[in-house]
C-alpha cells in the first residue's frame, strides 16, 4: 500500500548540519500530527525547533521526549483498560497517545510501518464510533499493549544495525510484523462487523463473538511475548531497568494457565445488567434457537435488549410487525455462517482501511507543507495568505475573531481593492485554461454584504460563530490549485448555491424516474423495491430537498462564476466517485461516510453524495425490470442512505447546541444556515409523516433560464456493464407469473377486520386527516362495511380510492387531490352523463400517473363486475395496475344508531379477543417467573 514511500524518510545523522537537522526533525514532528498551535509536548517540540536547541532536534530526541512525556499512559495500558470499571475516555486518550508515538517511531524504523498504519487506521475508525463497547476496548487494549513493546526500538538509530549474532533487528522482526499487521486488520474487521449488529443480534451470537474476541486478544498476548523475545535477542537494544516493571507484568501474564479462559471470564465481568439478564433468559429457554418458538419469547428478548416497542405508544399491528421483524432477524442471524460473513465483511473493511490510509498520508503531507511554511515566518504571522494576514494585522485581532466581523472586514478590504482590480495575493496568471482564472474582478463583485452568510459559513467550519487562525489557514489550503483567494471566496459566496441547486434538481428527477421504474419491475422484485422506496430515508431526502432554498427566478450569474462553479463541482464529484468506488458504494456506518467525504462539514458534501448514490441505485432499480435481485441488494442501498443521514443528524445536533447558546429562535437560525437545508430536518414537528406536502413526485423544475437543458436527462452516462454494480448475483426472470405474486402493502392493516392488507388496498378519501397521514384503510372485502376509527365513521357511500400496487407518500401527494377533483367534476356531470345515470351501483374511474392521466382526453369508467374480472379499461394502456376511484354517491346515507352499535360491537369483539391473548401471555409470563424463582432458590440452597 505504498508504505515504503510513506515511511521513506530517514532521520539525519547527529553530525548533520543544523538546518538539515531542523528540517528533518520538524518533518518528523509534522508527520506525528504536531502543530505549532497545540500545547504540551507537541508545542515544546515546535518551540525547540524554532529556537534551535540541539538536544531535541533529532528524530531520536523527539521520540524519547514523547515517550518520557507519555510514559505512564503507554506503560499502564493494561492496568487502565483491563478493568471492570474501564474509563472509556481515558482508554481512548491512551489509544491516541500510543498511535501518535508509533507513527513517530516509523520514521526511524520503516519496517514496522505497515502494522502501525493499520493500527492507526483501526484506532481512528474505533474512535469515530459514538458508543464504546467495553469488550471491544479490552480487545483493543491487548492489541495496543502488544504494539507498545515497539517503543523499545526508540533506542536504536537504524533498523539495519546488526546484533551480536550478525542479524539486524529488521531481519529478526519483519516477518513477525507482517503477521501482526494481518491480525490487526482481521481484528478490526471483526470488531467493525460486531458494532453494526443490533442488541438482539449481538445476544443471539454473544458466545460465538466473545470466543472470537478472546482468541484475538490471546493472540496479541502471544505476539507481545514474541516481540519481547525478538528484542531481547538483539543485544544492542539492551532492555533497561526502567522497563523491568512492565516486563515482570508480562511474565506474570505469560504464566497464566489458560489465557483464553481468562479473557472469557473477564468478558463475563464486563456484562451489563441488561446483557446479563438477556443471557440468562436465553440459557433458561434452551438457547437462541428456542427464542423463535413463540412470540412471548421474542417479546421478552426484545424487552430485555431494550428493543421492545412501547405498548402505550404503538398499535397492536405495530407490535405484531415488530415481533415478526425481530423473529425474522433472529432466524437470519442463526442461519448466517459467521466465517463467511466475516470473509465478506473483510473485503469492505479493507476498502475502509485503504481510504483511511490515503487520508492519513494526505493529511501528513498537507500538515508538513503548512507547518514548514509557518516556521519560516514569525510566530505572530501564522496566517499564510497575504490578504488575510493584512486584514488580521490591520484589525489587530488575536487568535480568533467573531465570524461576522471578519467577513465584513474582508469585504471592506476587497471593496477598497475593487476599482484597481488588484489582489495582493494574486498567483501568476495562467496563459491557458478557463477564463475565470485570468482575472479577479469578477470574483471581487461577489464579496459583498448580500453574501455575508455563506462566506461566514465557509470560514467558520465548526459553526461556533468565531473564526480562528487555524480555520483561516484551512480555508486557504483547501483552495483548488491555480485559484486565487477571491476566486475561492466567490465560489462559496454564490457558486456553492448554484451547485446545490443543480444537484437538487438532479436528485428530484432521479427519484421521480426511480418511482416510475418501480411500477415496471419484475413481480419477484416488487416487494423489495417497494420496501426500499418506502424507507424512512426517502422522507429525509425529501425534507432536505424541500427545505433547501432554490435560486431566485431572477438569478443571473456571469460566465466566470458558472465556469468556476462547474470546474470545482466536477473535480469534487470525481473525488467522491473515486472514494465511493473504493467502498463499492456501500456505506455501512456513519464512519464510512466520513471516510468517503473526508474532513469538513457534511453540508458541503450531502448533495453531491446523495446524487451519486441515487444515480447508482437508479441503475440497480432499472436492472430489477430484467433480473431477479437478491433482497439484500436493496437492504444495502437503504443502509447506505441511512448512514448518510446519521452523519447529518450528528451535525444538526451539534449546530443546535451552538445555536441554543446564542439564539432563542433555533428553527429560524437553521432557516438562515446553509440556505435552509437543515431546517426541516431539525424541526421535530415537520419530521412526522406528512404525505400531503411530500414533493418527490409533485416537484417541477423552475422556469429559470439558467437551468434550461440541465435536467433534461436523468443519467449523464450509462455504464458499459450495468450488472457490475450488483453485490449479489441476480437471476433471470420468468419463474413467477405477475398474477402469482401478491401485493403486500408494507404492513398496512385493514381498519375493519384488523388483518394485514394483501392485494387491493382501499383508502377512504372522506375519512382522512388534513395531511393525509391518518386515514381509514380497508381491504377489498371490507370496503362496503361501516367502519369506525377514532373520530372517523366510514360508510360505503364515501369517496374511495382502490390501489392495486403500493402507494408511496410521494404518490399520495398528487393522487388524493386529483381523485377529489375528479369526484367533484363527475358530480357536476352526473345529471347528464348516461354512464353514471344508468348504473345502479357507483362506477369507478381509472387514472394513471400525473403525466399519463393528463394525456387521456376523457374519463375512463369501469363497473365493479368488469373490474373484478380484470377487464382492461383502455386499449392505449395496460390498466391492470391502474388506481381506481370509487365515486361518492350524490345523496348521503343516514347511519342508524343500530348500525353504529353493530359496528362498535364488532370492534369490541376484536378488542376482547386481543385482550384474551394478552391474558394468556401474562399467564405464561407468570408461570415463567415462578419457574425462575424456583431455579434461583434451588441454586441458593445448593450453595
Grid cell listed for 217? 486478544
636-664 residue pLDDT tens: 999 999 999 999 999 999 999 888 887 77
Grid cell listed for 726? 450488483
Residue 58 has, within 13 A of its CA and on its CB side, a CA count of 17
Grid cell listed for 508? 428530484
Residues 6+ apart with CB under 8 A from 428: none
**Nearest CA-CA partner of 590 in 573, 609, 574, 571:** 609
State the distance between the two ends of the chain, measured CA to CA, in whole angstroms: 58
- What b-and-e string marks burial along 847-875, b requiring 16 or more CB atoms within 10 Å of the CB? bbbbeebeeeeebbbbbeeebeeeeebee
- Phi, psi for 742 (deg, rounded to 5): -70, 150
Percent of the chain with pLDDT over 70: 67
Residues 6+ apart with CB under 8 A from 309: 302, 318, 319, 322
Confidence band (pLDDT; 50, 70, 90) for 694?
A: very high
Contact 186, 220 (CB under 8 A): no
Q: What is the dihedral of CA 353, 357, 359, 362, to 10 degrees?
A: -170
119-131 residue pLDDT tens: 888 888 777 776 6
Grid cell listed for 743? 401485493
Please state, as a whole number, how many other Cβ atoms lie within 10 Å of the Cβ of residue 737: 8
Across 276-280, 411-415, 461-465, 737-741, least confident range: 737-741
Query: Structural domain boundaries of the chain?
Result: 3-270, 286-336, 386-487, 495-707, 743-886, 900-943
d(CA 505, CA 710): 9
d(CA 501, CA 494): 11
**Nearest CA-CA partner of 678 in 493, 550, 540, 810:** 540
546-580 residue pLDDT tens: 999 998 877 777 889 999 999 999 999 999 999 99
DSSP, res 141? H
Confidence band (pLDDT; 50, 70, 90) for 278?
A: confident
Span 448-454, average pLDDT: 87
**Nearest CA-CA partner of 635 in 728, 718, 519:** 728
491-526 residue pLDDT tens: 999 999 999 999 999 999 999 999 999 888 998 899
**What is the structure's pLDDT at 5?**
35
257 has a pLDDT exceeding 80: no
297-340 residue pLDDT tens: 888 888 887 665 444 344 555 666 677 778 878 888 888 888 88
Grid cell listed for 149? 513493546
**What is the structure's pLDDT at 346?**
87
Across 73-77, 601-605, 761-765, 829-833, least confident range: 829-833
**Exposed/middle/buried for 526, CB within 10 Å: 0-12, 13-18, 19+?**
buried
529-550 residue pLDDT tens: 999 999 999 999 999 999 999 9
Span 574-593, average pLDDT: 91
Residue 738 DSSP SS3: helix
Mean residue pLDDT of the chain comes to 75
Gyration radius (Cα) of the chain, Å: 33
Across 17-31, 401-415, 631-645, 660-674, least confident range: 17-31
Q: Of 7-21, 28-42, 591-605, give the range with the top mean pLDDT.
A: 591-605
Confidence band (pLDDT; 50, 70, 90) for 64?
A: confident
Span 148-166, average pLDDT: 75
Span 244-261, average pLDDT: 53
423 has a pLDDT exceeding 50: no
pTM score > 0.85 for this model?
no
Residue 871 has, within 13 A of its CA and on its CB side, a CA count of 12
729 has a pLDDT exceeding 60: yes
231 has a pLDDT exceeding 70: yes
**CA 916 remoteness from chain centre:** 43
228 has a pLDDT exceeding 60: yes
DSSP, res 162? B
**What is the structure's pLDDT at 937?**
65
Amino acid at each position: 500500500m505504498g508504505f515504503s514511500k510513506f515511511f521513506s524518510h530517514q532521520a539525519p545523522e547527529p553530525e548533520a548540519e543544523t538546518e538539515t537537522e531542523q528540517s528533518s526533525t520538524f518533518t518528523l514532528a509534522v508527520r506525528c500530527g504536531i502543530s505549532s498551535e497545540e500545547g504540551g509536548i507537541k508545542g515544546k517540540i515546535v518551540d525547540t525547533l524554532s529556537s534551535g536547541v540541539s538536544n531535541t532536534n533529532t528524530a531520536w530526541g523527539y521520540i524519547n521526549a514523547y515517550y518520557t512525556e507519555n510514559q505512564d499512559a503507554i506503560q499502564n495500558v493494561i492496568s487502565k483498560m483491563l478493568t471492570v470499571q474501564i474509563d472509556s475516555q481515558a482508554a481512548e486518550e491512551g489509544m491516541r497517545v500510543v498511535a501518535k508515538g508509533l507513527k513517530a517511531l516509523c520514521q526511524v524504523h520503516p519496517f514496522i510501518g505497515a502494522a502501525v498504519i493499520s493500527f492507526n487506521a483501526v484506532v481512528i475508525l474505533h474512535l469515530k464510533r459514538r458508543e464504546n463497547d467495553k469488550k471491544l476496548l479490552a480487545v483493543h487494549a491487548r492489541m495496543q499493549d502488544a504494539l507498545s513493546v515497539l517503543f523499545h526500538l526508540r533506542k536504536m538509530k537504524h533498523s539495519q544495525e546488526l546484533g551480536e549474532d550478525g542479524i539486524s533487528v529488521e531481519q529478526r522482526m519483519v516477518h513477525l510484523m507482517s503477521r501482526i499487521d494481518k491480525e490487526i486488520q482481521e481484528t478490526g474487521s471483526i470488531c467493525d462487523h460486531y458494532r453494526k449488529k443490533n442488541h438482539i443480534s449481538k445476544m443471539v451470537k454473544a458466545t460465538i463473538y466473545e470466543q472470537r474476541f478472546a482468541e484475538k486478544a490471546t493472540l496479541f498476548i502471544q505476539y507481545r511475548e514474541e516481540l519481547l523475545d525478538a528484542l531481547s535477542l538483539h543485544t544492542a537494544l539492551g532492555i533497561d531497568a526502567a522497563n523491568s516493571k512492565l516486563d515482570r507484568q508480562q511474565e506474570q501474564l505469560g504464566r497464566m494457565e489458560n489465557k483464553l479462559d481468562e479473557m472469557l471470564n473477564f468478558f463475563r465481568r464486563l456484562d451489563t445488567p441488561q446483557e446479563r439478564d438477556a443471557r440468562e433468559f436465553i440459557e433458561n429457554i434452551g438457547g437462541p434457537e428456542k427464542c423463535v418458538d413463540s412470540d412471548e419469547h421474542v417479546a421478552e428478548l426484545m424487552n430485555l435488549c431494550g428493543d421492545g416497542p412501547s405498548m402505550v405508544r404503538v398499535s397492536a399491528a405495530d407490535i405484531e410487525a415488530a415481533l415478526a421483524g425481530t423473529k425474522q432477524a433472529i432466524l437470519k442471524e442463526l442461519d448466517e455462517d459467521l466465517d463467511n460473513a466475516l470473509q465478506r465483511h473483510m473485503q469492505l473493511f479493507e476498502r475502509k482501511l485503504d481510504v483511511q490510509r490515503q487520508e492519513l498520508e494526505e493529511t501528513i503531507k498537507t500538515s508538513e507543507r503548512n507547518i514548514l511554511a509557518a516556521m519560516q515566518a514569525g510566530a505572530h504571522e501564522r496566517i499564510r495568505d497575504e490578504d488575510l494576514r493584512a486584514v488580521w494585522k490591520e484589525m489587530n485581532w488575536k487568535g480568533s475573531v467573531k465570524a461576522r466581523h471578519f467577513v465584513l472586514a474582508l469585504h471592506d478590504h476587497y471593496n477598497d481593492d475593487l476599482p484597481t482590480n488588484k489582489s495582493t495575493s494574486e498567483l501568476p496568471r495562467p496563459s491557458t485554461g478557463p477564463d475565470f482564472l485570468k482575472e479577479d474582478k469578477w470574483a471581487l463583485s461577489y464579496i459583498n454584504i448580500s453574501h455575508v452568510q455563506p462566506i461566514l459559513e465557509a470560514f467558520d467550519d465548526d459553526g461556533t460563530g468565531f473564526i480562528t487562525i487555524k480555520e483561516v489557514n484551512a480555508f486557504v489550503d483547501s483552495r483548488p490549485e491555480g485559484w486565487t483567494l477571491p476566486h475561492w471566496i466567490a465560489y462559496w459566496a454564490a457558486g456553492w448555491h448554484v451547485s446545490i441547486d443543480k444537484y437538487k434538481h438532479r436528485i428530484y428527477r432521479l427519484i421521480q424516474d426511480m418511482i416510475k421504474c418501480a411500477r415496471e419491475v419484475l413481480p419477484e422484485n416488487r416487494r423489495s423495491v417497494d420496501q426500499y422506496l418506502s424507507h424512512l430515508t426517502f422522507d429525509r431526502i425529501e425534507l432536505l430537498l424541500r427545505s433547501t432554498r432554490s435560486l431566485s427566478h431572477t438569478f443571473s450569474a456571469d460566465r466566470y462564476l458558472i465556469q468556476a462553479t462547474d470546474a470545482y463541482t466536477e473535480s469534487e464529484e470525481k473525488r467522491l466517485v473515486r472514494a465511493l468506488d473504493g467502498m463499492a458504494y456501500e456505506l455501512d456506518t456513519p464512519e464510512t461516510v466520513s471516510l468517503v467525504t473526508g474532513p469538513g462539514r457534511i453540508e458541503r458534501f450531502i448533495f453531491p453524495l446523495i446524487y451519486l448514490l441515487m444515480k447508482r441505485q437508479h441503475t440497480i432499480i432499472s436492472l430489477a425490470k430484467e433480473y431477479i435481485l437478491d433482497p439484500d441488494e436493496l437492504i444495502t442501498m437503504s443502509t447506505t442512505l441511512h448512514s448518510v443521514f446519521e452523519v447529518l443528524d450528528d451535525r444538526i445536533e451539534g449546530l443546535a447546541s451552538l445555536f441554543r447558546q446564542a439564539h432563542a429562535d433555533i428553527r429560524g437560525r437553521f432557516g438562515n444556515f446553509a440556505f435552509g437545508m437543515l431546517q426541516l430536518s431539525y424541526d421535530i414537528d415537520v419530521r412526522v409523516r406528512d404525505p400531503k406536502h411530500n414533493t418527490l413526485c409533485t416537484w417541477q423544475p423552475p422556469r429559470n433560464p439558467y437551468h434550461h437543458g440541465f435536467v433534461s436527462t436523468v443519467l449523464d452516462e450509462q455504464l458499459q456493464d450495468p450488472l457490475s454494480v450488483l453485490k449479489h448475483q441476480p437471476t433471470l426472470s420468468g419463474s413467477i407469473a405477475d398474477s402469482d405474486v401478491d401485493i403486500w402493502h408494507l404492513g398496512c392493516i385493514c381498519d375493519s377486520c384488523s388483518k394485514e392488507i394483501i392485494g387491493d388496498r382501499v383508502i377512504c378519501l372522506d375519512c382522512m386527516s388534513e395531511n393525509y397521514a391518518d386515514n381509514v384503510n380497508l381491504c377489498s372485502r371490507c370496503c362496503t362495511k361501516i367502519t369506525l376509527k377514532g373520530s372517523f365513521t366510514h360508510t360505503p357511500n364515501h369517496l374511495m380510492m382502490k390501489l392495486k400496487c403500493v402507494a408511496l407518500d410521494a404518490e399520495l401527494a398528487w393522487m388524493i387531490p386529483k381523485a377529489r377533483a375528479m369526484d367533484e367534476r363527475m358530480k357536476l356531470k352526473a345529471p347528464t352523463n348516461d354512464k353514471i345515470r344508468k348504473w345502479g351501483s357507483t362506477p369507478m374511474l381509472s387514472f394513471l400517473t400525473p403525466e399519463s392521466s393528463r394525456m387521456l382526453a376523457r374519463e375512463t369508467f369501469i363497473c365493479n363486475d368488469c373490474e373484478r374480472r380484470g377487464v382492461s379499461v383502455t386499449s392505449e394502456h395496460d390498466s391492470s395496475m391502474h388506481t381506481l376511484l370509487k365515486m361518492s354517491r350524490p345523496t348521503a346515507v343516514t347511519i342508524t344508531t343500530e348500525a353504529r352499535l353493530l359496528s362498535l360491537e364488532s370492534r369490541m369483539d376484536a378488542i376482547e379477543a386481543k385482550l384474551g391473548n394478552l391474558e394468556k401471555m401474562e399467564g405464561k409470563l407468570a408461570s415463567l417467573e415462578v419457574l425462575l424463582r424456583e431455579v434461583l432458590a434451588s441454586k441458593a440452597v445448593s450453595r
